[in-house]
Every structure is written in structure tokens, then in C-alpha cells.
Amino acid sequence: MKTSDFYYDLPQELIAQDPLPDRSSSRLMVLDRQTGQIQHRIFRDVLEYLDPGDCLVINDTRVIPARLYGVKEETGAGIEVLLLRRLQGDVWETLVKPGRKARKGVRIDFGDGLLKGEVVDVVDEGNRLIHFEYEGIFEEILDQLGEMPLPPYIKHKLKDKNRYQTVYAVHDGSAAAPTAGLHFTPELLRQIEDKGVQIARITLHVGLGTFRPVKVDNIQDHHMHSEYYQVSQEAADKINAAKAAGRRVVAVGTTSTRTLESVAGEDGMMKAAGGWTSIFIYPGYRFKCVDALITNFHLPESTLVMLVSAFAGREHILNAYRIAVENRYRFFSFGDAMLIQ
């Protein structure tokens, strides 16, 4: 399969630049993955498509304000650092712009010395390992100095940084939001639970690999970056109970899907687990655990379009995306949603 097999034409003006005032009022396309039939609804109507005994799986990772602006101690030249993942202690893997200014040994000053960093190594694809020095609590300093790492296709400044967090975000660690979850409100989650649907919380810290373009012609040559996940015993029990009762596991987002499919056994059953996954799901993949998927509309030729194509069939997905464009759906992180069942 070629990367170009997953291309579709998207007018720039359909890329959502701002979140809607009401999270659950975005549009919802409902796609039947067997027939390709489509319904047009509002996101809060998702309640109608969930049945008692189903298990809704959400990713409770929290986006950290991972974009830092600093200056080189030596020259005062400006430098931008994006935190990708904490390796150990105060050493982080980062993306630095401009990279040529960040050779090994370079020291960077952030916030008039509130935070200092030293480049200790250059690793894969030019990423830098930076050791940070500070007094106090790193997360508090980051809250003070950092900015939300919005994707490159969003040009508007975010007025309320909580709008790039899900309402159930708990565990710090993501460089990007699990955006399918942005549509849920506390009230909608309560209604879902009141209907008898179990909600299982898992964690996958989203890395920037999510946004990396596929640069190879043959998709099987693409290398996925690894991301850290955690599945608790409680979450595994809820998912397994739904499976045992013949009910559905409904994954919220591609991040939840990748976690579930990384951990599930061949029988679809889960166990408590934690670790790193670099699973790459594309057509031909056999899903073991996920029965339905709530997701946003993804970039042309991206690994996420490949994942939903594996779940619903490439033809059904590309047709649904064509219809979404015709109907002026909003695309990407702050855009509308799709339920594939």
C-alpha cells in the first residue's frame, strides 16, 4: 500500500482554528463500517448509540505546556524547545528550533533564569536531550513559562488553554491532546454512566509522532515513535466484563485504540499493563479488542487516516471524508467528530 492511497482533497478553510464554545455541540458523523451508510448528528447524540453494558474507554492523559522559549546563554540568540518526553529525572527528549544552534554542551536560559537547560546529547532525527536545572517544582515552573503545543495547522492563539485538555485529563505527560475526547462534557459523561455504560480510564501520553508526516512511499517502511501507556487493573476488569457479556468496547480516539490493541490478547481480553508502544495500525490489521471508535477527522496521508481505514475500510473512510468536505464539516484537532461502528 502506498501513502498516496490515503490522500483526500481538503480545502484549507475547513481546518478548525478555534474550539466551539460548547464542547458537545460539534457535529457527529455516524459511519456504519459494514455498509458505509452515514448519518449526520450532533456530538451529544452519541448517547443514543451507546448501550447499557458497553464500555467507553477514555484516555486521561493531560497535555503539558510543553513549548518553551529561551535564549542561548552564550549569545542571547532566541531558541524554541518543545518537550517530547521525560526520560529520567530532569532529562527530557526535546525538539529544538533552530536545531543548528543547539549543539551538545549549549546552555539555554528560560524565564530570566527561572529555568536553565543544557543540551547533553543529539539523538534520533536530530532531537536533543536536555538536562534542566531549577529550584522548586518543575511542573509549576512549566505552567508559568510554557505554552500549549498546538499543532502546526492551528494558526490562532488559544484564549483558554483548558480547551486543549479533555475534561477528564489527569496524568501529565502529553505533547498533544487526545482530541476525540475534547467533545465530552461532565454532564454528557454523567448521562452516559446513568445509562449503564461503564467508563474505563486508560493513559497514553501522546507524542509528536502523531503529527509527523509519513515520508515514505510504501507505508510498511514508516517507523512509528513509541509512546508510554498505562492500563490499570480496574480498567482491564471493566473492559473484560463488557467483552464477556458480549457488549462493545467503544474507544474514544486513536490513542485509546492503539493502547487497547497493544495490550489485548488474541481473545480481546485485557490485563493490567504499562510500557511503551509503537504499534502501527493500517489496512490488513485484525482488531482484537475495539468494537466501535469515536474519532476526529484526520490529516490526509497520515497514520491516523490509515488506522481508521483499517477499522472501517479505506473506501468507506475516503467516501465519508468526501461527504464531510461537501457538508462543510470542521477538520482536525478542534473539528467535528465521527463515530464508526
Is the predicted pLDDT of residue 210 greater than 80, yes or no?
no
Whether a cis peptide bond, with omega within 30° of 0, leads into 151 is no
Strands 198-204 and 55-59: parallel
**Burial tier of 277 (Cβ tally within 10 Å: 0-12, 13-18, 19+):** middle
Q: Residues 117, 154, 57, CA angle at the centre, nearest 5°?
A: 85
**Residue range 150-154: average pLDDT?**
87
pLDDT digits (tens, 9 = 90+) for 168-179: 999 999 989 999
* In contact, 226 and 261? CB cutoff 8 Å: no
| Separation of alpha carbons 187 and 190, rounded Å | 5
Nearest to 293 by CA among 51, 57, 38, 25: 57
Give the pLDDT confidence of 236-267 residue by residue, as tens digits.
999 999 999 999 999 999 999 999 999 999 99
d(CA 155, CA 330): 15
DSSP track, 275-310: EEE-----TTPPPSS-SEEEEE---TT-HHHHHHHH
Is 323's pLDDT higher than 80?
yes
Least confident of 64-78, 86-100, 208-222, 299-313: 208-222
Between the two ends of the chain, the Cα-to-Cα distance in Å is 24
- CA separation, residue 23 to residues 39, 107, 280 (Å): 20, 41, 29
Q: Which residues have CB under 8 Å from 37's CB, separation 6+?
A: 31
Asked if residue 51 has pLDDT above 80, the reply is yes
CB 124 within 8 A of CB 42: no
Question: 3-class DSSP state for residue 160?
Answer: coil
Residue with the larger pLDDT of the pair 196 and 101: 196
Q: Is 155 helix (H, G, I), strand (E, B) or coil?
A: coil
Predicted confidence band of residue 211 (pLDDT cuts 50, 70, 90): low
Which cell numbers hold the place of 86? 521525560
pLDDT at 326: 98
**Nearest to residue 254, comparing CAs of 52, 15, 57?**
57
**In this structure, what C-alpha cell is assigned to residue 203?**
493513559
pTM above 0.85, yes or no: yes
C-alpha cell at 311: 477499522
The predicted model gives 311-324 an average pLDDT of 98
